[in-house]
A and B are shown apart, each in its own frame.
Chain A
Amino acid sequence: MKPISSQFQERLFGGVKIGDELPQLSYKVTATTVILGALASRDWRPMHHDKDFAIERNGVKDIFMNTPNQAAWFERYITDWSGPKGRLGRMKFQMKGSVFPNDEMTFFGKVTDRCADECGCGWITLDIELRVMDELKTSCQARIALPADDDDNPWKKGRQDWKP
């Protein structure tokens, strides 16, 4: 198999313990971040690109990041940690506040559970928080399958063996 880019570590199920922390990811949000994210997810609603609309109609200080783009940020944060063989099974999130241009958002993540299912798939549960300064903006719980060893590959699990 072609070696996976050295930027990405291939994380194996056996090497993960409950309580492990993911490396933090910080990112300075700009208006471009918000608008590019909204348009990439085909979300044309004006509160994600029109500051006057966001202030006057939504009563907030600026345009703000939309939900599908936040999901894409969480996915990136998780697979930066897992490597490309990591296969997301489930993601749940709750938004508690908006993310605006000029916010520096930081992602924090922790392993809260690990188990193997009856099909031999190794599952990791992650609790992740998106914070700006000390304020929790979005909490996320994700379940991701990791390979058992170098020859295993969760993406090859067929319908019968994939129980997300």
Chain B
Amino acid sequence: MNNISELKELIGVAQYRQQGEFDVERGYIWTTLASVENGNPLYWDNELARELAGGNIAPPTMLSVWFRPHYWAPGRVQQVLPLQVHFDLKEKLNLPEAVMTSNTMVFYEPVRIGDRLTTQQVLRSISDEKQTKLGTGRFWDIDVEYENQNRELVGVESYTGFGYRK
């Protein structure tokens, strides 16, 4: 069996399920809001957050923030990358270069302060070999699914990548 048929067997299979290293917390929320000067009172005013959203929530676009590993951690020898399936495809298909051509985020249940999220990666498709301006390679679609501690879906990020050789 060659690499491509082995990889196609992974389509639809959840991989790299992992829990975030820390709870959703306000420090990163406020630092993110400050970085873009976002004064939305939903994230700054506790009373309004209670009225509108039933409590303090995180801006939806922060989904991936809760999964980036610490720069350093004691005893760590290897870390799973946020989009490990993408790097697996590059390696197994011997495609040294890659670009992301599009990124879609869909938001479901609000992410709340104190949530501990879990993520998993699902390969959705791999194209036949294509010739583009960049080089010869394949397109692939990967979903990164996020759920909270109650196993409620909070969001899905979908990436289309193109791995190629020049």
State whether A2 touches B48 (Cβ < 8 A). Answer: yes
Task: Tally the A-B contacts, defined by beta carbons under 8 Å.
Answer: 116
Instruction: Give how many B residues have a beta carbon under 8 Å from the other chain's beta carbons.
Output: 40
User: Which residues of A line the B interface, CB within 8 A?
Assistant: 1-2, 4-5, 7-8, 27, 33, 36-37, 39-44, 67-69, 71-76, 79-80, 84-85, 87-95, 153, 155-156, 159, 162, 164
Q: Give per-residue flags for B30-60: 1 if the beta carbon is below 8 A from chain A beta carbons, else 0.
A: 0111111111111001011001111000011
Question: Quick one: given A91-B105, A159-B108, are A72 and B51 in contact (CB under 8 Å)?
Answer: no
State whether A69 touches B35 (Cβ < 8 A). Answer: yes
State whether B105 touches A4 (Cβ < 8 A). Answer: no
Q: What residues of chain A lie closer than 8 Å to B47, measured between beta carbons?
A: 2
B40's nearest neighbour on chain A, judged by CB, is: A79
List 16 other contacts, CB 8 Å, given A36-B34, A40-B35, A76-B33. A5-B41, A8-B39, A8-B40, A8-B41, A36-B31, A39-B31, A44-B71, A67-B103, A68-B65, A75-B38, A84-B40, A89-B106, A91-B61, A91-B104, A92-B102, A94-B103
